[in-house]
Amino acid sequence: MDTLSAGNASSRPNMIDPFGRAVSYLRVSVTDRCDFRCVYCMAENMTFLPKKEILSLEELDRLCSAFIEKGVRKLRLTGGEPLVRKNIMVLFRSLSRHLESGALEELTVTTNGSQLTKLSRELYDCGVRRINVSLDTLDDERFKAVTRWGNLQKVLDGIEAAKAAGLQVKINMVALKGVNEHEIIPMMTWCHANGHDLTLIETMPLGEIDEDRTDQYLPLSMVRAQLAERFTLTDIPYKTGGPARYVTVEETGGRMGFITPMTHNFCETCNRVRVTCTGQLYMCLGQDDMADLRAPLRASEGNELLSDAIDEAIGRKPKGHDFIIDRRTKQPAVTRHMSVTGG
C-alpha cells in the first residue's frame, strides 16, 4: 500500500457506481462508543459492540488503504466519538503516509470536541487541516440536556485549541424543533465572528432513540427562508466533498451550509460510502443494504478478496435513500443508530 505515489494518484481508476457517480469519499467509523449521549443520535443506555467485533487499528489501516488504492481521495474518520478510541493517533499517523505520497487529498475527522485540547496539535502534525465539530447549542444547560453527558466549556476549550494548532474548524449543528431553533442565528453569529463555517443538518431517522423524531424534525427549507428575511444569503459553489450546499452571509462575511436529507436530498451527486467499525460497508446512509468487508479482510493477508468485495458492493450502490419520518408508525427509516455508521 505504501507504493501509492503522487505520480500515479491521478491515473488510478475511480470506483464508478451503477449511476455513473465516482466514489471518491470514504467515511470510516473507528468506534461505536462515545462520551456523549446526544438525544438525536443515541439512547441513553446504549449496548455497545463486543471488542472482538471491532476492527483493529491495523485492520482499519488496511481497509482505508485499499479504498485509497481504488481512488478514494478524501477520508474522514468518525465514530461514535473517534478520538476516544484507544491509541487512535497511531491510525492517524499511519494514514498520513498517503497524504505525503499525494495519493490522498484530505484526511479529516468529525468529533464532539471533547478530546481536542489533548489531540489538536498531534492531529495537525498528522496532516489533518480541517475538522468538523458537532455543536448544537452554546447554552450550557441546553448542551447538557442535548448531550446528556457533555461539558460545553470543555468543547469550547477544545475548539480554541484546534484553532491554535492551525486546524480549520467547521461547526455542525443539528437543527431540532423546539430545542435549538431559536439559537441558529446566535450560533451563526458566533461561528462567523470566530472564523468558523457553520453547517445546519436536518435530523435523520436512524435508530430507535428515547425521543419522538416527529417532534424533533425541523425542515431547513423553512429555516433558510426565515434567515433570508434578515440576512443576505448568496448561493456559492463551494464544496468540501460532502453533501452540504453553501451560502455566504453578506452581513457576517461567513459561510453557511445546509444538509437536507429530508427536504432536498443530495443523492444525485453522492460520492460517498461508509464503513462501520465492524467492517460493514454501507453504500448509502439511508439504506440497510451493506457488504461485509471484515470477513475478506480477516480471511487473507493479501487484499485481493477485500478488493473484490469492495467492487461488488460499489456495483450495488443505490440511486437514493429511503429517509422518511413517518408520523403514523413513528419508526425510524433505518434501524441502526447514527453512532454505528458514523453520520
Residue 24 annotated as binding site: no
Which of the four pLDDT bands, split at 50, 70 and 90, describes residue 128?
A: very high
Residues 6+ apart with CB under 8 A from 37: 43, 44, 46, 147, 148, 149
Q: Extract the C-alpha cell encoding 246.
A: 453553501
DSSP 8-state symbol, 113: S
pLDDT digits (tens, 9 = 90+) for 241-300: 888 999 999 999 999 999 987 655 557 778 889 999 999 999 887 678 899 999 999 999
Residues 6+ apart with CB under 8 A from 251: 231, 232
Grid-cell match 492517524, residue found:
92
CB-based burial of residue 266 (10 Å sphere; 0-12 exposed, 13-18 middle, 19+ buried)? middle
Residue 277 annotated as binding site: no
pLDDT digits (tens, 9 = 90+) for 285-338: 767 889 999 999 999 999 999 999 999 999 998 777 554 444 444 444 445 445
End-to-end CA distance of the chain: 27
pLDDT digits (tens, 9 = 90+) for 22-61: 999 999 999 999 999 888 777 788 888 998 999 999 999 9
Give residue limits of the domains in the chain.
6-341
Residue 38 annotated as binding site: yes
Residue 267 annotated as binding site: yes
DSSP for 299-334 reads H-SSSHHHHHHHHHHHTT--SS------TTT---SB
The answer regarding whether domain 6-341 maps to CATH 3.20.20.70 reads yes
Residue 221 annotated as binding site: no
Residue 110 annotated as binding site: yes
Residue 230 annotated as binding site: no
Residue 126 annotated as binding site: no
Residue 30 annotated as binding site: no
Q: Distance between CA 219 and CA 254 in Å, rounded?
A: 22
Contact 79, 88 (CB under 8 A): no
Contact 132, 123 (CB under 8 A): no
Residue 64 annotated as binding site: no
Residue 62 annotated as binding site: no
* Phi, psi angle pair for 111, to nearest 5°: -140, 160
Q: Extract the C-alpha cell encoding 252.
A: 457576517
